[in-house]
């Protein structure tokens, strides 16, 4: 394993209705793969109507710092102003780091 300085885990929690559009955006930013799971919870705005319509998804992708910056820009421009989306990055140590950089 190597240090997490070159690879980050980018995590996004969003309304499930946004899943297809969000995944297309990740691919356009350069992400090579991701894991999508169902998510539920409550945030600062309390429960949303969309939770009744399908809940949330949690998307995790391992990417280079450059790709992570592109994802931040996409989310800031296209999602944060319009949707209840949470996102964060985590430095990680990965095996086969060349797959993600």
CA distance 47 to 24: 26
In terms of Cα–Cα distance, which of 35, 25, 27, 10 is closest to 78? 25
Domain that holds residue 20: 7-99
Looking at the domain assignment, is residue 1 inside a domain?
no
Read off the pLDDT of residues 86-99 as tens digits, 9 standing for 90 and up. 999 998 888 888 88
pTM above the 0.75 mark? yes
| Per-residue confidence (pLDDT) for residue 1, from 0 to 100 | 41
Looking at the domain assignment, is residue 2 inside a domain?
no
In terms of Cα–Cα distance, which of 77, 81, 91 is closest to 29? 77
- Count helices and strands in the chain by DSSP H and E runs: 2, 4
What is the count of structural domains for the chain? Answer: 1
Residues 6+ apart with CB under 8 A from 93: 1, 2, 3, 4
């Amino acid at each position: 394993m190597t240090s997490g300085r070159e690879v980050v885990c980018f995590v996004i929690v969003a309304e499930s209705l946004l899943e297809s559009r969000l995944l297309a955006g990740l691919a356009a930013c350069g992400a090579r793969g991701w894991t999508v799971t169902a998510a539920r919870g409550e945030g600062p705005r309390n429960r949303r109507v969309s939770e009744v319509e399908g809940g949330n998804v949690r998307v995790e992708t391992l990417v280079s710092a450059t790709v992570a910056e592109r994802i931040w820009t996409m989310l800031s421009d296209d999602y944060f102003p319009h949707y209840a989306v949470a996102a964060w990055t985590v430095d990680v140590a990965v095996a086969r780091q060349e797959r993600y950089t």
